[in-house]
Amino acid sequence: MPPGARAPEQPPRLLLGPLLRYVDADSATVWVETDRPCLATLHAGGRQAVERTWSVHGHHYALLVLTGLPEAAVLPYEVRLDGVRAWPAPDQEFAPSVIRTIRHDERLRLAFGSCRRSAGHDAEALRRFGADALVALAGQMATAPHEQWPDALFLAGDQIYADDPSPELTARLKAAHRGTGARDADRWDADTDHDGGRREVRGEVHDFEEYTWLYQESWSQPAVRWLLSTVPSCMILDDHDLRDDWNTSCAWRERMERQPWWRDRVTGAFASYWVYQHLGNLSPRELAEDEVLAVMHTTDDDATRTRVLDEFAWRTDAEPDTARWSYVRDLGGRGLGIRLVVVDSRCSRRLDPDARAMVDDAEWAWVLEHALTPPGGERIGHLLLGTTLPAFLPAGIHHLEGWSEAVASHRAWGPVAAWLAERLRRAIDLEHWAAFRASFDQLVDLLRRAVEAPQPPSSILLLSGDIHSSYTARVRLRDVRHPGTAVHQLTMSPFRNPMHRAVRLAHQVIEWPPVSRTWRGLARLAGVADAPVAWRLEHGPWFTNGIMTLSIDGIRATVEMDRAEVRHGRQELTRLGVAPLAP
């Protein structure tokens, strides 16, 4: 280069993505994060979508909405930034990413699971955390025809671990805060909670910027990046997106709100969730109606956009009706629809000890409307209820959680027992639907209303994760005939975060029949009535990393259960079994 000559400016780069998010019969959305402001263009099927990136907190994003696509098509696509192709990448090892628009032939393959720790893929990380189910799924897809791919991917919570990041990210966090006064590295290491218990903020993220590091680490692994670029994904947040045991109880909430770091943490969590996860759950029509997204598109100033988003994020926690994180997707079928209703079971909780609810009244009314009302007047052939936390747990844990709620609320055995029950609830995560009995009963009533409808669905399938064990359970409503509707709890967890051996042992002890019966008796003594529903585990529990794939063909439904494991240095899926669900 001649002396004094300027080096040619490099074109904009994709920092993250593309993520293929919402897809229906004729439209698709693709999300990207770029390294600078630019014009992003999506090309597929002779159509294009163009959007100038918008920024918050100095980060640049675009959500490209492509419409007018042909139904049941397989369309390779590319992303250009300022006219230069950024995806597919020149060094990409996988096949070109494609958009597959929905078929209306009453068939669906939906892969799902939850709880994925970001960790390396070297020998030590594979020994400690096991194989990554999403990496293994991508490897399986790479050599399979499109017909065998999942049509969609449901990430049922804990996509990131804000309170327990990887060792590499923990080191980065510590280095970033060294010498920053009140949050320098030495003091940061020493913070403890007000009860003298485990550390509150050591090795945890605090704000929007640090949340972006989590997403970058989680979604940039090459196989996972390709998987998310070519399989439509829908997501929902759970506790580790913010903090373990988030909204477990009123006592937990009051203690957290006293922490000096709480506001930054909450604001960063919800603002980043809106950008990285929530927007992609929405249809093009819903995106057009989103008031915060409208501000992103119509405001030129990063500081103003950031302020608007941060204020919105803080309000969503303080006033849960500010935003609805629950959503619905219709996944195909003409005349026999397949509807996925994803329920937010974290943000809209009611924690008053005398009126606890997993989902508040407004949110539950929305759930009922979308679970019981057929789309476009068509029959719901299969109703899928996505809830991060399983409703139908193994029996011993179910009764333990019912007992803990009754005792911790002071209704049963007095203040001393209440204090002990609250400590136990936090220590071993007693926070599922069984620990919110009023909401559990509402859910059972929803199932009853669905199966007693004039045209009941062929199946009602609850898709959950969270508990770091996996199983299927058949559910039967007492005093209700539903031979035409199969009801199952399908729980798949983790993608990659195996349960510690001590916790696994405790789980097995609780489910030992004499212990399980003891907790049932204690729950009855505490005033917890038996539920008007029965269920039994049919497959599992398993305690390994893996993934489940729901396969629907007309009125029939089956579930494929796969374990992720390392074989000959490769991360692969091994079939554990295939179970019929309906009819």
pLDDT tens, position by position, 183-206: 444 334 434 443 433 344 557 999
Instruction: Check pLDDT > 60 for residue 2.
Output: no
Q: What pLDDT does residue 485 have?
A: 94
Name which of 248, 532, 527, 489 is nearest 402 in CA terms.
Answer: 527
Q: Which residues contact 475 (CB under 8 A, 6 or more apart)?
A: 392, 447, 487, 488, 489, 533, 534, 535
Boundaries of every domain in the chain: 10-102+158-165+204-235+237-325, 105-157+334-583
CA 66: distance to chain centroid? 25
Q: Helices 222-230 & 133-142, crossing angle to 10 degrees?
A: 70
Handedness of CA 553, 462, 317, 270 (dihedral sign): negative
Structure tokens at 400: 């333990």
Q: Which residues contact 372 (CB under 8 A, 6 or more apart)?
A: 446, 449, 450, 453
Distance CA 7, CA 39 (A): 22
Q: Which of 173-177, 279-283, 290-294 has the lowest mean pLDDT?
A: 173-177
Q: What pLDDT does residue 3 have?
A: 59
Instruction: Check pLDDT > 50 for residue 74.
Output: yes
Query: What is the b/e burial string over 170-206, where b = at least 16 CB atoms within 10 angstroms of the residue's CB?
Result: eeebbeebeeeeebeeeebeeeeeeeeeeebbebbbb
Distance CA 79, CA 43 (A): 7
For the whole model, what pTM was predicted? 0.93
Determine the average pLDDT of the residues in 173-180: 78
Q: What pLDDT does residue 196 have?
A: 36
- In the chain, the amino acid numbered 403 is W
Cβ neighbour number for residue 554 with a 10 Å cutoff: 15
Instruction: Check pLDDT > 80 for residue 256.
Output: yes
| Cβ-defined contacts of 395-398 (< 8 Å, 24+) | 395/511, 395/516, 395/520, 396/510, 396/511, 396/512, 396/515, 396/516, 396/519, 397/432, 397/434, 397/507, 397/510, 397/511, 398/434
Q: What pLDDT does residue 310 have?
A: 97
Distance CA 467, CA 493 (A): 6
Find out whether the peptide bond into 494 is cis, omega within 30 degrees of 0: yes
| Cross-strand partners of 155 | 113, 235
Q: Which residues contact 46 (CB under 8 A, 6 or more apart)?
A: none
State how far the alpha carbon of 486 is from the alpha carbons of 384, 476, 511, 568, in Å.
12, 8, 25, 40
464 or 428: which leads in pLDDT: 464
pLDDT band for 28, please (50, 70, 90 cuts): very high
Q: Which of 132-141, 172-181, 406-415, 424-433 has the lowest mean pLDDT?
A: 172-181
Determine the average pLDDT of the residues in 553-558: 94
Q: What pLDDT does residue 179 have?
A: 60
Structure tokens at 118: 């970001």
pLDDT band for 333, please (50, 70, 90 cuts): low
Q: What pLDDT does residue 232 have?
A: 98
pLDDT band for 180, please (50, 70, 90 cuts): low
Give the chain's mean pLDDT. Answer: 90
pLDDT band for 114, please (50, 70, 90 cuts): very high
Between vectors from CA 442 to CA 469 and to CA 478, what angle results, nearest 5°?
Answer: 80
Q: Which ranges in 467-512 belong to alpha helices (H)?
A: 501-510
Q: What pLDDT does residue 508 have?
A: 86
Q: Which residues contact 472 (CB under 8 A, 6 or more apart)?
A: 488, 489, 490, 491, 537, 538, 539, 540, 559, 561, 579, 581
Q: What pLDDT does residue 8 have?
A: 59
Q: What pLDDT does residue 192 have?
A: 41
Query: What is the b/e burial string over 438-452, where b = at least 16 CB atoms within 10 angstroms of the residue's CB?
Result: ebbebbbebbbebbe
512 or 80: which leads in pLDDT: 80
Structure tokens at 206: 């605090």
Instruction: Check pLDDT > 60 for residue 410.
Output: yes
pLDDT above 70 coverage of the chain, percent: 93
Q: Which ranges in 386-512 belong to alpha helices (H)?
A: 395-408, 414-427, 437-451, 501-510
| Cross-strand partners of 34 | 14, 60
Q: Which of 203-207, 389-393, 571-575 has the lowest mean pLDDT?
A: 203-207
- The answer to whether 112 and 134 are in contact (CB under 8 A) is no
Q: What pLDDT does residue 194 have?
A: 37
- Strands of 68-147, DSSP E: 74-81, 84-87, 98-100, 107-113
For tokens 């019912």, the residue is: 402
Determine the average pLDDT of the residues in 526-538: 93
582 or 366: which leads in pLDDT: 366
Instruction: Check pLDDT > 60 for residue 6.
Output: no
